[in-house]
Structure 1
Amino acid sequence: MRFVVTTSHKPTREEVVNARTLAEELGVKYVSRGRLREFEKESPVDFYYVFDKNGQLSIKAGQSVFFFHPGMSKVRYKNIKLQNSDYLINSMELSGEEVVLDTTFGLGNEALLIAHFLPRGKVVGLEASEHIFRVVAHGLRNYPYTDEWIREASTRIELHNINLREFVKSCADNSYDIVYCDPMFDRPQLSSHSINPLRPFAVYERIIRSDVDEMIRVASKRFIIKSRTRDTLFEELGLHFDRLWGSKKSGVLYGVIEKK
């Protein structure tokens, strides 16, 4: 895809420096925001990176804007406080010192939630998409958090730009306490306004049984995989779960395999 780096309108000096630095790192052009429309007429692009005044990095593609925001982690945290009703967190059975491998990081909302319950542990996240990784990694470090629990959780996340298949094969047996996988759904939930801008940049490589076997191998306590009731992933994988549960309302299922 063709892209450039720019800033918000009337940028500060820091924005311009950050944008120029990123453009140089990526080997693409820096285009000032005032010249962007003229530049696109001569050299059309698929999207552009934008450094904003609040220190955030986003991607604008047409009318869609992709940016990091921890909103869903806040909603789920509130539900846990009110009802103790989060299937993923309950599935993990965290003591607080585990190292959790999140093989499909995405926006990182679930990783932030998990990391909150790991005061002496951490989450190691893998994101195969270069562009999603760049925006989310920047956001984790620079987002203006208003909730202290999310800011603290963000410091216990280590994010890598790598394909899960490549990474997991290089890991020794039982390298992580828990391994979690949340692949893209067969039938996307198009009503999800936070996920939709991410879709053009996501890696849609299908999870297969050999991937799962590798992930189970590197987990010392348990492996957890997410799907939806109307998807066919679990049937294709042919796995026997020790627990399979989720929300009827959302149609989300978590399959749990315990390491004996």
Structure 2
Amino acid sequence: MEKPFFFHPNSAAYRMKRLLKGDMDPLIGVSELKEGDSFLDCTLGLASDSIIASFTVGEKGRILGLEGDKDVAFIVEKGLKAFPTSLEEMQHAMQRIEVKQIDAISFLEYEQDCSWDIVYIDPMFSAPIDESSNFTPLRQVGLLGQLSEKWIEEAYRVCKRRVIIKDHFNSLVFEQFKFRQIVRPNTKFHFGYLSKE
């Protein structure tokens, strides 16, 4: 039986609490994201990573999440504005995220060179991670877009500093597109990056 799809920030709450204590988040570490930066999330999904990015860039930064599936985009956009949380920093971070319903390549093609500090891509893992049960409903309704040379080329053109990708630790994507893979022991997903610096 299919599970209903609804918005929930998933891991963002405990990740933000760790940031507030002074710990480093893996996404923030690999992207070297800082206050005032712009962050383009090409695969918004449930927006967990965008929430963490939004908290990091603050009010002077900009976060835009692209979502190809119109139903997911609608639900997540409404959820970001209305999800109840007692953590004020989280509420502000969620409300600052802009959502645009469009597929990533179509959006990237019309963006100017070096127009976003960080371009982020988190495709649906080709091998589902069993522990990530919160994403089961998203896999049912979301778009399973495969990475392509075109997508990576456009992302690299549009980024000012780095293109970041997240994928299953044994994915061939890192090697295929020449991303520097950041190995994280005892985790099922890794980040990788292409840098202009």
Specify the TM-score bucket, using the shorter chain as the normaliser: over 0.9
Q: Does 1:66 align with 2:5?
A: yes
Number of residue pairs matched by the alignment: 196
- Aligned equivalent of 2:193: 256
Percent of matched pairs sharing the same residue: 30
Counterparts of 1:153 and 1:82, CA distance in 2: 17
Specify which of 165, 176, 195 is matched with residue 116 of structure 2: 176
Deviations 1:71-105 (A, max 9, x none): 31012123334572421111122230011100000
Specify which of 158, 163, 166 is matched with residue 106 of structure 2: 166
In structure 2, the gaps of 5 or more residues are none
- What is the DSSP-based 3-state SS (H/G/I as helix, E as strand, rest coil) of the residue aligned with 2:5? strand
- Aligned equivalent of 1:92: 31
TM-score, normalised by the number of residues in structure 2: 0.92
Counterparts of 2:179 and 2:132, CA distance in 1: 30
Preserved CA contact (<8 Å) 1:98 1:118: yes
Deviations 1:28-71 (A, max 9, x none): xxxxxxxxxxxxxxxxxxxxxxxxxxxxxxxxxx5512111123
Runs of 4+ aligned residues of structure 1 deviating over 4 Å after TM superposition are none
Preserved CA contact (<8 Å) 2:16 2:90: no
Specify which of 136, 144, 151 is matched with residue 76 of structure 2: 136
Counterparts of 2:81 and 2:24, CA distance in 1: 29
- Aligned equivalent of 1:78: 17
Counterparts of 1:115 and 1:145, CA distance in 2: 16
Quickly say closer, same or farther: Cα 1:156–1:92, change in 2 above 3 A. same
- Aligned equivalent of 2:173: 233
Letter in 2 for 1:155: Q
Cα deviation, residue 116, structure 1: 0.3
Quickly say closer, same or farther: Cα 1:231–1:208, change in 2 above 3 A. same
Specify which of 219, 224, 240 is matched with residue 159 of structure 2: 219
Counterparts of 2:167 and 2:34, CA distance in 1: 25
Q: Answer 1 or 2: higher relative contact order, Cα 8 Å, separation at least 6.
A: 2
Counterparts of 2:141 and 2:179, CA distance in 1: 32
Letter in 1 for 2:97: I
Preserved CA contact (<8 Å) 1:101 1:178: yes
Deviations 1:227-254 (A, max 9, x none): 12222222332x153xx21422122211
- What is the DSSP-based 3-state SS (H/G/I as helix, E as strand, rest coil) of the residue aligned with 1:256? strand
Preserved CA contact (<8 Å) 1:87 1:245: no
Letter in 1 for 2:152: V
Structure showing greater Rg: 1
In structure 1, the gaps of 5 or more residues are 1-61
